Structure 1
Amino acid sequence: MTIIQFDGRRRRRISPVAVNSIFDTHIPLLSDDIFVEYTKARLLQGPQVIDIILPSGMDRSLFNKAFKALATTFFGVEHKEKNVLSQGLLQYGDALSNVHQALGDPSRHQSYDLFESISVMALFEFLISDNEHGWLSHAEGMQKLMSLRGPDSFKTYPDYIILQDYRPSIILSCVLLRKHTILSKPEWKSIPWSLYPHQKTKMQFLIDILADCPGLFIHKEGIESSPSSCERSIEYSKLRNNISNVLDQLQQWEQDWTTNNGGCSWEVPAPVTTPIIVNHWGRPVPAWETVIEYESLYHANTTVVFNATMIMVQLLADQLTFSGELPRDSRNQGSFPDRKFAAGLTICRSVEYHLQSMRKGAGSFFLLFPLRMAYDAIGRSNTVIGVWLQNVLQQIHNGQSGRWATAKYLLDIKPQQSRGNSPSII
């Protein structure tokens, strides 16, 4: 998430408590500023928020309309105020029409205002929309615009900040849509950081690896549609090597992360909300004795995204290993189930830290993908943990911890080209 400063000056903030106090006095007309400041205070808080100073006089008409629509709708949802909600939805429709017009004008493709407004609309779909696949169309539109602009246009502030923020959603949309992403190309992994190489964090290097995942799924489905068994065998061997390469990259990344960030997390006793399972002796015990605290939300996000990526790739590897098409790789024999379970458990043990952060106003999109992967790894086979994960998503959906509409249907979402074939994301 980013907070943008206006004309080099920081706007005065109004806390959620103050806004609620104003609202409770039943002032008949609430200003747009109230909605905007409430949304910033409620959603865009914490150390992950970056301030960007934009040049005075920069055109931000599209962004202002998009963010006002988001803020008005969000305020209406939070306060169950139907009139405000309806007003926000009308504003969103108007802002969406303006963005579509701008997309049809090649002279505006390089506009930061257009790029920023699309990112706000994608956030709208994640936070508020009941359309299960609404965010996919915005992510697809974002990638098309990025492709038209090229990687060189993202070398400087503030463009490359938004590029960093939205790479994960674009990549995951391509996994679900079974489409290639430009972000897997070497130039998109290097050029945007060429002027600020020190700004490329371990999270961003992890996203580089994640960017290679859509191609793995596309390759697999292409093989399955081939009528030639000989051709399938050759392509399966290539795919197997590609998957092994991604797993090797993840393992190397993990070694580097552990070496440089070994003290960023620690264990504390598990809360009473921890799911209770029955052990081998028939006794009820917590599913895990401790949960993980982190030095910062950045460290928490990076840890769970790594484990989610590891689960996703290993689930795909399992499909090849047990498909009968290929012999089992002796190097990885028997390791997949244990590693997936450990990764899923790490995500579950990180949930409490994320929920606490979200209750403080630091919204975390980065938790959603890991929650789905934890469900696929251990929640489907362990009904107690599966129900617990569903309850966590319900908290996120209804606003007890953050407010992400996407959480409502996260466990049901399937690839667009193979819906109904499998309950998992892959």
Structure 2
Amino acid sequence: MVGDTRQVANDSRVRKASNRQSRSCKVCRLRKVKCDRVKPCHACCAHGYPSKCVYESVPDEDARPISQAEEIRNLRDEIKDLRTRINDRQDGSQTQHLQRLDQLASLFESIRSAPLSVVDDLVRDIRTTQGGLKKDLTPVGPWEGLEAYEQYDYLRQSSPVSVIPIRNTISNGSPEQNFNDPIILGDDEDDDDDEEEEEERMSIGSGSDSSGTVSIMSVQRPAVDVFVERFVDAFSPQVDLKSGKAGAIRAAAGIRMFSPLISDAFEAVSVAFFGRSVQNKQIEASGFRLYPRVLRGLQDALNDPERCKAESTLVTVTLLLAFESVERTTQRGVPAHVRGAVRLIEHRGPENHMYGVEHLLFTELRPYWIAGALAARQPSFLAREEWKTIPWSAGTTNKDINHHLLDLAVEVPGLLAQSDIFQEEQRSSLMGAQEIAVKQAALWNGITNLTARFEEWYNEWVINYPDGAPQDVEQSADQEFPIFKQRDLRTGAIFVPTILSYPNLLLAQTMALYYSFRLILSSIDTRPEDRVTPIQQYGFGCGICRTLQWYIQTAPGNMINRLAFPTRVAWEALPDNGPERGFMLKVLQLVERRHALGLWGSGMAELSVRENSPLNTE
């Protein structure tokens, strides 16, 4: 009997211990630190990994984690409800409602924009009390986030896109600031700019009172939220899996409340994008004014051993890459941010890209990271086996036809580098005939092997694609899209070919990438037999051109950016002064006009993969 009692007690202790353990998230349990049971918890937020805060199933309702996003959403709902009640009632309770409204507005604004130390205190108070805050709210100060808000006024709340600048503190001309390779070179902004920005923030804050705080939030914050939503809809549209995953930016927007760095980055890029899309130079320039602070915050994070590995840092670099595709502040902007993102990814390791936002940023944007290695013509760590397997090992997403192609493409940069070195050694006349023969054979063997694997991939994944292969469609003159014309290389005659129609966006993007990878690999193929012929190369380039119309007219938002690299590769592969180049020039102008993407309008020279490209010879 005593033994049974002890056994029951032991079982009870085991069950209680199990319940207590399940109340902590997996990260806190692995790190053996205290977890506050909020999702995401304070510890994960403090270390910059809110999306990694995962809870295992728990046996009772009391152990269910609290959503911090729900807390913020509840605050917003209560503010909205109080405003409605204030407008409807004019009795003695109005003062009480106004006081509560001011308190909630100050709390919400402080959580959104205060320094991390202040936010930690406020969130801790919310989590540890049921009857209100333990101490007075820290008033919203002039520390950040206000300099651009004075540019906007909602004159029609029912039409959130109708935003009118009410004070012009910026030149009416195009933005003139250039931000050249800041995250790589570590350039510091001019101290005078810092002083002017700080003086402006102080002047804005000094004229505010408690009612001013509510005014800022009720008028200007909704404007910024609209800009962010529009930016997210453009760069991370909601699509099905057959269109290709596009949820990385949207997922990052969902965690921006936990990171001032991400929040500032979203404001800068979304305001600039909105201004450019509606052709309002004042709004666009306001996004530029926020940009230097984002760069300084990013530089601080990169210099911090802990924060440089945080997902907030990777998110910010990716947002700045999107910003450069819109504004193209310099020719080096896009490649600089691609290199910065790739270095961060390598530094973080494959294990840190298995879950959450980090996984989406790595997998969805993987073509960009590989394109960066191709443009640099240097071997990439992405070709290592662990980078082809570990990010998918947790089953967060599954590899599709595109990723199986990219598993082959990551080997092309190494062969480009091998070819460049071989060509340079040949020109220097430092190698003997035997050494030349050995190195040339090694290069040709690598090209032969990879070419065969590309062809095997095509037979396995494209010919047997479940939704069907691409179909030929006649071009119609009754449309706003340019007509593609190509040349018969045997006779020289120019004719109008069919264009390609695809069962879904994923296959269209994958085929455009396939044509571009084959073109790049064939550029170094000097084998005496079985090499890709000029006619085949021309066919690959035309294949990309024949894909553009269907993809541009079908893809939502700015998913067209996914064909930027293949488009540049086709441009370099097709003959000068031919009808093909004329067609592509019209397409570039069309995309810039419709999607407000300055990168396309520039011709995308920074995406060049040529050996003698100016960006690759410095």
TM-score by length of 1: 0.83
- What is the 5 A alignment of 1:276-295? 276=485, 286-288=495-497, 290-295=498-503
Tell me what 1:348 maps to: 545
Distance 1:283 1:152 in 2: 54
Tell me what 1:361 maps to: 557
Tell me what 1:259 maps to: 464
Please list every run of 5 or more consecutive structure 2 residues that lacks an aligned counterpart in the other structure.
1-50, 52-66, 77-155, 167-218, 240-244
SS at match of 2:356: coil
Residue-by-residue CA offset, 1:210-238 (whole Å, 9 max, x unaligned) = 11111111111211232214333321211
Aligned mate of 1:110, from 309, 312, 330: 309
Q: Give how far 1:255 is off.
A: 0.8
Matched, 1:228 2:431: yes
Distance 1:181 1:20 in 2: 50
Distance 1:281 1:344, change over 3 A: closer
Distance 2:71 2:495 in 1: 50
Tell me what 2:602 maps to: 408
Q: Give how far 1:383 is off.
A: 0.4
Q: Give how far 1:297 is off.
A: 1.4
Q: Give how far 1:254 is off.
A: 0.5
Higher RCO structure, 1 or 2 (CA under 8 Å, sep 6+): 1
Please list every run of 5 or more consecutive structure 1 residues that lacks an aligned counterpart in the other structure.
13-17, 322-327
Distance 1:184 1:9, change over 3 A: farther
Distance 1:172 1:407, change over 3 A: farther
For 1:182, the aligned partner's letter is F
Aligned mate of 2:506, from 295, 298, 321: 298
Matched, 1:124 2:327: no
Decide which moves more: 89-98 or 364-373. 364-373
Q: Give how far 1:195 is off.
A: 1.5
Tell me what 1:275 maps to: 484
Distance 1:220 1:281, change over 3 A: closer
Matched, 1:336 2:528: no
CA contact (8 A) 2:373 2:413 kept: yes
Distance 1:58 1:64 in 2: 6
CA contact (8 A) 2:332 2:606 kept: no
Distance 1:371 1:8, change over 3 A: farther
Tell me what 1:316 maps to: 524
For 2:315, the aligned partner's letter is E
Matched, 1:181 2:357: no
Aligned mate of 2:356, from 153, 157, 172: 157
Distance 1:293 1:91 in 2: 42
Aligned mate of 1:383, from 575, 578, 587: 578
Distance 1:137 1:356, change over 3 A: same
CA contact (8 A) 1:59 1:113 kept: no
Tell me what 2:613 maps to: 419
SS at match of 1:292: strand
Distance 1:278 1:251 in 2: 26
Residue-by-residue CA offset, 1:331-351 (whole Å, 9 max, x unaligned) = 34xx42232222222211111
Matched, 1:7 2:69: yes
CA contact (8 A) 1:355 1:401 kept: no
Tell me what 2:448 maps to: 244
Q: Give how far 1:206 is off.
A: 1.1
Distance 1:390 1:112 in 2: 38
Decide which moves more: 39-48 or 304-313. 39-48
- What is the 5 A alignment of 1:34-49? 34-47=226-239, 48-49=245-246
Q: Give how far 1:46 is off.
A: 4.5
Distance 1:279 1:292, change over 3 A: closer
Distance 1:295 1:19 in 2: 41
Distance 1:71 1:87 in 2: 10
Distance 1:265 1:20 in 2: 44
CA contact (8 A) 1:126 1:404 kept: yes
Aligned residues: 400
Tell me what 2:12 maps to: none
CA contact (8 A) 2:489 2:535 kept: no
Q: Give how far 1:287 is off.
A: 2.5
Distance 1:179 1:281 in 2: 36
Distance 1:259 1:97, change over 3 A: same
Q: Root-mean-square deviation (CA), in Å? A: 3.5
* Percent identity for Structure 1 against Structure 2: 20
Structure (1 or 2) with the larger CA radius of gyration: 2
Tell me what 2:95 maps to: none
